[in-house]
Amino acid sequence: MFHEKHSDPIVPTPRLARLSHVEMTELVLPQDTNQHGTIFGGRVLQWIDIAGAVSARRHSHFKVVTASIDEMHFLVPIRLGEVVVLKASVNCVHRSSMEVGVRVEREIPSTGERMKAATAYLTFVCIDDDGKPVLAPPLVTETDDERARFEAASERRARRLAHREALRSRT
């Protein structure tokens, strides 16, 4: 991602936030559930990570790796036979990293009723074929909602960086 004659990085072309939108749908099957008939939290995390990675890759057109997942809170149980809808999009882009927000909804098949089941914020880093970080394309926001998500993501990033630094200082 660098010019051959000097080390100035090539700045990728900015991309619209809406182009990173992803919607995944999963049916909760017996192998996805525990002895209570509700979904394993780890399965939901797996789907969140996949939806987030697809969104990050869709935005960047680079390979991406998961750097962090913010706190997870499961708001309502998701049961066997229900549908899980995951909606992901890039909220903010920094040098080589991107925050992706993922909303998880539980859908009851017999009624079509949906309710928010969880929200997660993940940080992905763009990498080249050698696994080295590369510049992520800047994010272009068009709507008030996208701009609000961008601002909130910047605040979360400051907290994540402070938390990471605190963890590093303990070791």
Mean pLDDT of all residues in 106-133: 97
Is the pLDDT reported for residue 4 higher than 50? no
Half-sphere exposure of 1 (CA within 13 A, CB side): 22
| Average pLDDT score over the chain | 93
> How does residue 8 score in pLDDT terms, banded at 50, 70 and 90?
low
> How does residue 6 score in pLDDT terms, banded at 50, 70 and 90?
very low
Mean pLDDT of all residues in 121-126: 97
Mean pLDDT of all residues in 87-108: 97
- Which pLDDT belongs to residue 2? 40
Q: State pLDDT tens for residues 141-156.
A: 999 999 999 999 999 9
Is the pLDDT reported for residue 163 higher than 90? no
- Which pLDDT belongs to residue 3? 39
| All domains in the chain, ordered by first residue | 15-170 (3.10.129.10)
Q: Is 76 left (phi over 0), alpha (psi -120 to 50) or beta?
A: beta
Q: Which pTM was predicted?
A: 0.89
Contact call for residues 52 and 119 (beta carbons, < 8 A): no
Among residues 122, 124, 115, which one has the least CA distance to residue 45?
Answer: 122
